[in-house]
Structure 1
């Protein structure tokens, strides 16, 4: 049956629709900037590692910088817990403003911190503190921004709009890479980049985060949160449940387990297909670094543009059929796809295989934030969406590349392919057991009450 104008969000006044779009754009722009800031650390660490970790060889310096980068991932669950709880208690807008403000401070600290030569061991100590701020901020940003967009988007096109969440993730990465190319090839020499040029991306990121804070201060609060706030005002039990970890784990344990199951396969596949494939094509297939970088970058741009289209598909056919694209494809096609990519010597074939992998991944990445948002009531939604995913991302996402390299080093590289397939199978079982949230969305049920 065709969607009605009300379901599409078209029955609102032009002013209301403009405010909705302004809020969606403000939330999305802030997410792009946050991801840019968070990923710029890893992208530019090759230039600033010597400034904070002198002595030894370059590999040791990069390992030290990578260890600090990992701290950002380890602290993400804590940020998701604290900022997610804040979003459920004080509002999505407040939490989003806090998140982007913390990211701004973290980036500006990195940009302004003196080198080891100037202040000694205080330099890496300050760097660690800055990375902790960034990781804490990103942990809260991911779940809260997804919750905000899910609640702001019109009912009949919620999948399309929330598909832009993944667009912002990839766009943040691409913006950081583009800035690196501009600085390398058009603006600075390698020596200048090592001496002081590495500070530029962090200064830009800090300034952009301040601009994102300005945008977010003007966005509207969601109707879903305001209804939840009004209902909880006179009820002590409901008030106590808002943003409560205990309430999430006890009263909504089934949804929490579903969220974990949804995330396991997609998280491992995301780190495999968007990050590790570049190294895999160099180390296993034998492509040059430049060719592998070009293949993966172009494929990522196409993948980014497809996310809202997969989301739109879920608005038409349902969330589960789109999730099944990943569940079935990830379970049964990962092994042959990786074997084919590892043995090809054709750049065009490698590009096609990259696109195929990212197409499978899109069944998860385009709508997983929305599906999780549609599972939880507003009083614990930001916490429920963000915390389980942050834990899975830290435990399984952060170890994906390490496991791939360990299997290769041990001479059993194909075991990693089966590991990715097994994780996708866990998610496939979850998709089969969980409800179809397009028709049973808690967001819509609460709006009708």
Structure 2
């Protein structure tokens, strides 16, 4: 096996970056489109009672959260396999799983057609997608960072969220297009299925692209007959501090990312009567700005380091979340302003997240070391964020949610203060 480091050409590195980004975009389109369309298909899988109007949405968001809790298993198992047998194989596994889950949702029967089997199928699909999403971040982060020269790891890292944000924009764009072309009854009846079907087809195309990836894991690092096998939790035994750092540094970003990129219009519609359709437009504008910031801040981190960038993010959300969400008043202008401000500071983390995590572990334990702590943190804080917010609204305590975000941000900020600077050190 010839490794990338034995052939350090600019063309090969660029191709690796494109392969990683394209496949990642396909994966995250399939993941994001669920939250974009939940308001349309919730009633198809969960019957609505006259007394509890939020029950279908809460149930659908609960399955959204359950999908997140499969991500740690994906990060552990698929990340471990990536460390044993290579990144390329793992990346093929994740995109197959994500596409299969998307196809299953696209063809799933409704509650009226299949009864309790309908939400069970929806749950199964999200479990498969959650497993794939957890493995994707673990393997793709290692793949992209290992493909980068040492002095440009921050820049290469930024493409993880360039691709993920592009997928989010595509999900918003297609959802908005369908919402404007179809009537509300058509969207709730069958229109919501179209993006899931498109996602499954895109996953097949992404699989073909990933077949041309060049393996970044050195052959001497992989498991072979006659060589001692690694346990799935060996990374945790050997690198407990690094694992805890990944968990802590991800908590606040995991929560704020899913609130600001997907749930904020729903939160505003529940609290200040904001029109969700306008949220698609403001979200598209804000995410475009967020996407443009990624490579710029990635380059900045290669020069000034990772810790200053993370501290800017953490301190801002710890101090400014409550007044920032207090700006929401139901208008398009306030929604756009809150999204732009929040995503600007969130980009200080997202642009370098893959590099920060990958730089803490050696190659032999890198994917699993990234995958499990990251996924557990995202599941506990990001996956439950929309549910917590909706539940608080339902309980008449909507104003508690901004304080909840600020508290989590304060915790992550303390982790950033303890994080060693890794930007200028060679990759292990």
Q: TM-score, normalised by structure 1?
A: 0.84
Alignment: residue pair count: 423
Aligned residue runs from structure 1 range 34-433, under 5 A: 34-53=27-46, 56=49, 59-186=54-181, 188-222=182-216, 224-229=217-222, 236=227, 239-241=228-230, 244-284=231-271, 287-339=274-326, 341-342=327-328, 347-348=332-333, 351-407=336-392, 413-433=398-418
Corresponding residue of 1:4: none
Relative to 1, partners in 2 of residues 1:315 and 1:10: Cα closer, same or farther, differing over 3 Å? Answer: farther
Q: In 1, are the aligned partners of 2:268 and 2:274 still within 8 Å (CA)?
A: yes
List runs of 5+ in structure 1 lacking aligned partners: 1-8
Deviations 1:169-189 (A, max 9, x none): 222222112112222333x44
Q: CA deviation at 1:192?
A: 3.8
Q: 1:22 aligns with which of 15, 20, 42?
A: 15
SS of residue matched to 1:220: coil
Shift of 1:235: 8.2
CA distance in 1, matches of 2:395, 2:109: 41
CA 358–113 in structure 1, closer or farther in 2 if over 3 Å, else same? closer
- Maintained 8 Å contact 1:262/1:368: no
Aligned CA RMSD, in angstroms, stands at: 2.9
Q: Residue 233 of structure 1: CA displacement?
A: 5.7
Q: SS where residue 384 of structure 2 aligns?
A: helix
- Taking structure 2 as the reference length, the TM-score comes to 0.88
Shift of 1:83: 0.7
Call closer, same or farther: CA 1:60–1:421 in 2, change over 3 Å: closer
Can you list the C-alpha shifts for 1:65-90, whole angstroms capped at 9, x where unaligned? 33333331121111111111111111
CA distance in structure 2 between the partners assigned to 1:381 and 1:252 by the alignment:
10
Change in Cα spacing, 1:399 to 1:49, as seen in structure 2 (3 Å) is closer
Change (3 A) 1:180 1:408: closer
Q: Quick check: 1:88–1:225 contact (8 Å CA) kept in 2? A: no
| C-alpha contact 2:157 2:298 (8 A) present in aligned 1 | yes
Partner secondary structure for residue 31 of structure 1: helix
Could you tell me which runs of 5 or more consecutive residues in structure 2 were left unpaired when the two chains were aligned.
none
Which structure has the greater CA radius of gyration? 1
2:58–2:387 Cα contact (<8 Å) kept:
no
Q: Deviation of residue 276 (structure 1)?
A: 4.0
Displacement of 1:33: 1.0
- Give the structure with the larger helix fraction: 1
Q: Deviations over 1:160-206 (max 9, x none)?
A: 121111122222222112112222333x4444444433332222111
Distance in 2 (CA, whole Å) between partners of 1:328 and 1:63 is 31
Distance (Å, rounded) in 2 between the aligned partners of 1:45 and 1:350: 20
The alpha-carbon deviation at position 302 of structure 1 amounts to 0.5
CA distance in 2, matches of 1:170, 1:358: 11
| Helix, strand or coil at the partner of 1:75 | helix
Q: Distance in 1 between matches of 2:277 and 2:109?
A: 33
